[in-house]
Amino acid sequence: MKKIVTASIAILSCYSLYAQTDTTSFPEERQAVRQLMHESKPGTRIDCNDFIAVGPKGDISFSFSEWKAAQIKQKVVFKSVVSLPGHEFIRIYDGNTAVVNFLANVHLVVDGQDVRIKVRRLEVYHKSTAGWCRVAGQGTIVDEMLFPVERDKQEVTHYPNLTKQPTEYTAP
């Protein structure tokens, strides 16, 4: 019995160590992905041809061309996506895959209406011989009336009036 318990603990310990993927390595790759994200402007293509995106209505686009067609159909035009400092996390796996989570101020026009929102994005990038490109992306609107975001490492208290729903994000 003692041998079984010892063997079980050893196996679980090794499994735990193996599961801890090193996500702090690959500084050059991390910088390349960060540069791609920050230097891209609306209309600049950073997506792979087989890009998968989830739209604001939960619709899925299975290619870059489907994603663009969905934007045209829904009358959506992206004006800017600006990542907020201190809310950007990049993990590189095997030197050729990046998982990026960031908070952004997004400015877009929907059916002629100017909209400014705060969005938490999750994106996946792949490195091929041609360089890095985005293969997947999804965003969630952050409702700061319900879930305030910390500013300058200070805790933000919840808004007392939770019945009022925000219609647009306004930068502080």
Question: What digits encode the pLDDT tens for the residues 46-71?
Answer: 899 899 999 877 889 999 889 889 98
Question: What digits encode the pLDDT tens for the residues 151-169?
Answer: 544 444 433 333 433 344 3
Characterize 113-124 residue by residue with b for buried, 16 or more Cβ atoms within 10 angstroms of its Cβ, and e for exposed. Answer: eeeebbbbbebb
Residue whose entry in the numeric block shows the structure tokens 């490195």: 127
Longest dimension (CA), the chain: 72
In terms of CATH architecture, what is 23-172?
Answer: Roll (3.10)
Lowest mean pLDDT among 6-10, 81-85, 123-127: 6-10
d(CA 124, CA 105): 19
